[in-house]
Amino acid sequence: MSSGRTVPTRSHGLGKEGATGSGASQVEFGDPELTAEINHAMVQVEELLHKELSSGQEFLVDKVMHLTKAGGKRFRPMFALLASKFGEKPLSEDVIKAAVVVEITHLATLYHDDVMDEATMRRGVPSANARWDNSVAILAGDILLAHASRLMSQLGTETVAHFAETFGELVTGQMRETIGPRDTDPIEHYMEVIREKTGVLIASAGYLGSLHAGAAAEHIDALKKFGAAIGMIFQIVDDIIDIFSETHESGKTPGTDLREGVFTLPVLYAMREETEVGAQLREILTGPLTDDETVEKVLALLSQSGGRQAALDEVYRYMDIANAELDRLPDNSVKDALRELATFTVKRVG
Ligand code: GRG
> Domain range for residue 333?
216-349
For residue 205 and ligand 1, the question of a CB distance below 6 A is answered with no
Position 125 in a domain: yes
The structure's pTM equals: 0.93
Instruction: Write out pLDDT tens, residues 239-288.
Output: 999 999 876 555 567 898 999 899 999 999 999 999 999 999 999 999 89
Is residue 115 domain-shared with residue 149, that is, in the same domain? yes
Residue nearest to atom 16 of ligand 1 (CA): 198
Ligand 1 center from residue 206 Cα (angstroms): 16
Is residue 186 domain-shared with residue 274, that is, in the same domain? no
Ligand 1 center from residue 283 Cα (angstroms): 32
CB proximity list for 293: less than 8 A, separation 6 or greater: none
For residue 308 and ligand 1, the question of a CB distance below 6 A is answered with no
Calpha distance 105→149 (Å, rounded): 9
Is residue 288 domain-shared with residue 223, that is, in the same domain? yes
Position 15 in a domain: no
Per-residue model confidence (pLDDT) at position 296: 95
pLDDT at 179 over 80: yes
Q: Which tops the pLDDT comparison, 329 or 287?
A: 329
For residue 42 and ligand 1, the question of a CB distance below 6 A is answered with no
Is residue 128 domain-shared with residue 192, that is, in the same domain? yes
Position 5 in a domain: no
Is residue 60 domain-shared with residue 139, that is, in the same domain? yes
Ligand 1 atom showing the smallest separation from residue 75 Cα: 25
Per-residue model confidence (pLDDT) at position 26: 74
Position 8 in a domain: no
Position 16 in a domain: no
Total domains, the chain: 2
Is residue 276 domain-shared with residue 318, that is, in the same domain? yes
Calpha distance 190→235 (Å, rounded): 11
CA nearest to 97, candidates 215, 212, 199? 212
Position 338 in a domain: yes
Instruction: Write out pLDDT tens, residues 13-27.
Output: 443 333 334 455 678
Ligand 1 atom showing the smallest separation from residue 112 Cα: 6
Calpha distance 77→37 (Å, rounded): 14
Q: Which tops the pLDDT comparison, 185 or 261?
A: 185
Instruction: Write out pLDDT tens, residues 74-116.
Output: 999 999 999 999 999 999 999 999 999 999 999 999 999 999 9
Calpha distance 23→214 (Å, rounded): 28
CB of 163 within 8 A of CB of 105?
Answer: yes
pLDDT at 7 over 90: no
Question: Which CATH number fits the domain that encloses residue 101?
Answer: 1.10.600.10
Ligand 1 center from residue 110 Cα (angstroms): 5
For residue 12 and ligand 1, the question of a CB distance below 6 A is answered with yes
CB proximity list for 350: less than 8 A, separation 6 or greater: none
Is residue 34 domain-shared with residue 177, that is, in the same domain? yes
Is residue 188 domain-shared with residue 225, that is, in the same domain? no
- How far does Cα 208 stand from its chain's mean position? 17
Instruction: Write out pLDDT tens, residues 55-66.
Output: 999 999 999 999
pLDDT at 350 over 70: no
Is residue 282 domain-shared with residue 328, that is, in the same domain? yes
Position 283 in a domain: yes
